[in-house]
Amino acid sequence: MSGDSFVTADGVRLHVDAAGEGPVVVFQHGLCGDCGQTSEAFPADAGWRRVTVEARGHGRSEAGDVGRFSIATFAADVAAVIEERIGAPVVVGGISMGAAIALHLAVHRPDLVRGLVLARPAWVTAAGPENMAPNAEVGDLLKRLPPEEASAAFLEGETGRRLADEAPDNLASLTGFFSRQPIAVTAALLTAISADGPGVSEADLARIVVPTLVIGHGRDVIHPLGHAGALAALIPGARLVEITPKAASRAQYVSDFHSALSAFLREF
């Protein structure tokens, strides 16, 4: 399936990336990310096959109608790939927005999910959480200003200065969005998804019965460690693993991520 494509019911061609051998983990990237992010975070020697469906407007996938950008739409696309190409149930997980997609599937399509990985979650249950405000701000600036002016305004503003001190890795990601093409698609993604949510309630989380791993770390304004802790507390039997922040050491972050995910997958 590596380098394969999948056409949605409404005609949008999505890129599906896969690597490794064994049972499948459908592992989704974050907002404005791609399969490179999931490839880095997923241990190559885990004995599992990683499949990443690049969401509409991400990586090599087409955008389609930008008015349809939502976590629910992205989750429905993943569900279709699982049903038509892979077969259920599978372990489903993701990073940031990918975690929200996985959580949506665990609640709304539990028939597809045998295990759940929520890495660096940016949402618990509420839509438009305050921690997503920096993404929304970047999206708004890109809608109103040329990219270079938008970038300068952000870096000189209160949010940019605060992130430079508190969460430099977040700032690096956000700064990259000002040159991400196509700019109009990037702006639409940032504004739509930042205002969205996983479409679940605390009562829904209490009904999740599959093994669940939650991964979080500090020094991250957009993915607060408190969100990871809240999800681990609300999902019965969920395990919380705190790993090294990317802002402290990217190499150790990747190593810790691999170790946490490998240990979880060995239980299946």
Q: Tell me: do 104 and 202 sit in the same domain.
A: yes
Residues 69 and 82 in one domain: yes
**How high is the pLDDT of residue 215?**
98
Q: What is the pTM of this model?
A: 0.97
Strand partners, 7: 13
DSSP symbols for 3-48: TEEEE-TTS-EEEEEEESSSSEEEEE--TT--HHHHHHHS-TTSSS
Cβ neighbors of 193 (< 8 A, separation 6 or more) are: 31, 69, 70, 71, 97, 132, 135
> Quick one: pLDDT at residue 68?
98
Q: What pLDDT does 168 receive?
A: 92
* 25 and 92 both lie in a single domain: yes
Write down the pLDDT at residue 3.
Answer: 67
Provide the residue range defining the domain that includes 173.
130-191
Same domain flag for 13 and 89: yes
What six digits make up the tokens of 107?
Answer: 């609640």
Question: Is residue 115 located within the same domain as residue 142?
Answer: no
122 and 139 belong to one structural domain: no
Which residues in the chain land under pLDDT 70?
Answer: 1-3
Listed residues 141, 160, 191: the one ending a domain = 191
Q: What is the per-residue pLDDT for 1?
A: 46
The residue among 148, 175, 191 that closes a domain is 191
Pair (114, 134) in one structural domain: no
Total domains in the fold of the chain: 2
Identity at 112, one-letter amino acid code: L
Cα–Cα distances in angstroms (integers) from residue 72 to residues 104, 199, 240, in the given order: 7, 7, 25
Q: In which residue are the tokens 């921690």 written?
A: 131
Which of 191, 220, 243 terminates a domain? The answer is 191
**Spatial strand order in the sheet of 90-95:** 4-7, 13-19, 49-53, 24-28, 90-95, 113-119, 212-216, 239-242
Q: Tell me how far apart the alpha carbons of residues 1 and 79 are, in angstroms, rounded to a whole number.
A: 16
Nearest to 97 by CA among 173, 153, 160: 173
The pLDDT tens digits of the residues spanning 30-80 come to 999 999 999 999 999 999 999 999 999 999 999 999 999 999 999 999 999
Does 64 share its domain with 179? no
CA angle 146-149-154, nearest 5°? 120
Same domain, 211 and 233: yes
